[in-house]
Amino acid sequence: MGVTGCGKTTVGELLARDCGWDFHDADDFHPAENVAKMKSGTPLTDEDRWPWLDRLNALIADSERQRGNLVLACSALKQSYRDRLAQGCATARFVLLDGKIETIRARLAGRQGHYMNPKLLESQFAILERPRDALRLDAAGNPAELVRSIRKALAA
């Protein structure tokens, strides 16, 4: 979890591959209306997010029912969003890829092919509620090292 450009997809894909788990990017589950808003630079409201979070919760719950594991790259910026994602799911764990806004802004400047408007970075930092019960890692870290840290924490 974390703001746009923190490395959720990069680290998530590596973690899933290393563990032999499925990987999903929450961005792929947004309805067209949400994507259009973000492309235009309009922040999503909670009302925009609830149906999307419910779809993601169903994905997590389905994986749990099938006794599988998955890695989901999702912003999950507020505690209420994380609560909605994990509702009814006993094994959901969160990892925050946290970083300085300047570092993330520099990454976004070089990113291509993503619909998220970099102008929304400030609004994401503004609503970010850093979780107390999540593994918190520096987003500026080497992705392979971040994966090792995550695996170590999950094993514990």
Average pLDDT over residues 13-25: 97
Residue 69 domain-assigned? yes
123: domain range? 8-151
The model's confidence at residue 114, banded by pLDDT at 50, 70 and 90, is low
The total of structural domains in the chain comes to 1
E strand residue ranges, the chain:
22-25, 70-73, 95-98, 135-138
Residue 112 domain-assigned? yes
For the domain that residue 77 is a member of, what is the CATH number?
3.40.50.300
- In the numeric block, the tokens 């929304």 are attached to 120
Residue 3 domain-assigned? no
- pLDDT tens digits for 29-84? 999 999 999 888 888 899 999 999 999 999 999 999 998 899 999 999 999 999 99
Residue 72 domain-assigned? yes
pTM, 2 dp? 0.90
Residue 156 domain-assigned? no
Buried b (16+ CB within 10 A) or exposed e, 1-14: bbbbbbbbbebbbb
Residue 1 domain-assigned? no
Residue 89 domain-assigned? yes
Average pLDDT over residues 8-20: 97
**Whether the Cβ atoms of residue 53 and residue 81 lie closer than 8 Å to each other:** yes
Residue 12 domain-assigned? yes
